[in-house]
Structure 1
């Protein structure tokens, strides 16, 4: 017997596609396999990242260009010894250049998952730490915290931002690049709107044209999201390079 035609009054269950006179079940899209941080850090997308390895302090390919200001000028304008933390610092070229320009009481710290590929002697004011930004913790507060294109390759981006907010001095500045298109909810839908709203409520400012996130002054930040894992096969982000999408579930 031929299948009964589907009319406008025929109920169609979710997950079906109505064809010319028939309804057939269609499998929902396969969700990506979400990686925990330990596995993500072994991913080719993260391990092969070269976004920050050659960037200097000033010039065409520089921190000054990416941040919109010269970090040394900013630090010298402060009231006390300059403390700068650079997360995902790559080779540390910008920090090395800054060490030559800042007073001897400056404290410069770079943290990078891979660390410098060509070890060289460090200036006395500079410490380059090879560690995961997801688990590293500082022992002092910083006047300037930067993460130039580093969040693109981290899993729990929000956890790092929340922790780093507490590492600032009372009037310190944090600047990080963030592509909100790579913030996803549990079902794969865009998470940019709720996440950016929560970040703004916590005191962050987001500048969409530059994909730049800033925070002024130390504070305790609690963001209402639970981290689910990361997708290292999400494709290119705003930089044109493959990046990591982070998945969250709103809390409560």
Structure 2
């Protein structure tokens, strides 16, 4: 087995696979190609059933179309935040619209917690997928819900051998649930997550994943939980 050439985050984000200005650009709130279909729930109905002033963070949000559509259906005071590496190609919406930020989710962190955090097929283009999931777990409000699409086949060890089964076991032990049929990972409630893996880098030449689109493979070194995330 040939060891792949792994890139750090700042190089990975310059590749055509990751800096993809067509990914998730037009997905709306409801309908055939929608957040409701991909997430298995109506984000607005979920939010309004839990808070009078709900908050939603969408990671890898593209144009932020779903957030824009949700704005008119949510009560005043709702907080809607979208973060995307490329960012919206069109001008930002009106002052009372969602906050659409152009930033790398590998480094960005919010100033608050959220009732709902989503990442619709965005992890496929993130280098340290497990690291982002662990960080996002701490961004949830008390009754918050995190939903993200995860492809276990994209999680590998240094030489490219599969790490998906071990990673899923660690995620489940940390409180996450995974639906293999829908490739959806979910977490209820905030927590501190430390996974027994150290991130090594990512391979943007891994090829198509289950969506049929080119995606990134994230490579890790298994480590004791106490050492997970420790600087190299």
- The TM-score normalised by the length of structure 2 is 0.94
| Aligned with 1:170 (options 139, 142, 160) | 142
Give me the whole-angstrom Cα distance separating, in 1, the residues matched to 2:65 and 2:105.
Answer: 18
| Aligned with 1:56 (options 14, 28, 40) | 28
Offset of 1:125 from its aligned partner?
A: 4.7
1:185 to 2:157 alignment: yes
Offset of 1:32 from its aligned partner?
A: 1.1
Q: Tell me what 1:195 maps to.
A: 167
> 1:99, 1:123 within 8 Å by CA — same for their partners in 2?
no
Aligned length in residues: 224
1:137 to 2:109 alignment: yes
Give me the whole-angstrom Cα distance separating, in 2, the residues matched to 1:121 and 1:79.
Answer: 24
Q: What pairs with 1:138-157 in structure 2 (closer than 5 Å)?
A: 138-157=110-129
Cα offsets for 1:132-188 (capped at 9, x unmatched): 000001011100000000000000001100000000011100000000000001221
> Helix, strand or coil: the match of 2:167?
helix
> 1:185, 1:247 within 8 Å by CA — same for their partners in 2?
yes
> Helix, strand or coil: the match of 2:33?
coil
Q: Tell me what 2:132 maps to.
A: 160
Give me the whole-angstrom Cα distance separating, in 2, the residues matched to 1:239 and 1:122.
Answer: 34
Give me the whole-angstrom Cα distance separating, in 2, the residues matched to 1:122 and 1:86.
Answer: 18
Q: Tell me what 2:227 maps to.
A: none
Unaligned segments of structure 1, at least 5 residues: 1-28
Asked which structure has the greater CA Rg, the reply is 1
1:242 to 2:223 alignment: no
Offset of 1:126 from its aligned partner?
A: 1.3
Q: Tell me what 1:126 maps to.
A: 98
Offset of 1:214 from its aligned partner?
A: 0.2
RMSD over aligned CA atoms reads 1.0
> Helix, strand or coil: the match of 1:45?
coil
Q: What pairs with 1:73-92 in structure 2 (closer than 5 Å)?
A: 73-92=45-64
> 1:53, 1:90 within 8 Å by CA — same for their partners in 2?
yes
> 1:179, 1:237 within 8 Å by CA — same for their partners in 2?
yes
Give me the whole-angstrom Cα distance separating, in 1, the residues matched to 2:92 and 2:167.
Answer: 40
Offset of 1:124 from its aligned partner?
A: 1.3
Structure number with greater CO (CA < 8 Å, separation at least 6) is 2
Offset of 1:49 from its aligned partner?
A: 5.2
Give me the whole-angstrom Cα distance separating, in 2, the residues matched to 1:182 and 1:71.
Answer: 27
Give me the whole-angstrom Cα distance separating, in 1, the residues matched to 2:137 and 2:162.
Answer: 25
Give me the whole-angstrom Cα distance separating, in 1, the residues matched to 2:137 and 2:42.
Answer: 21
The list of structure 1 runs, each at least 4 consecutive aligned residues, that deviate by more than 3 angstroms after superposition, is none
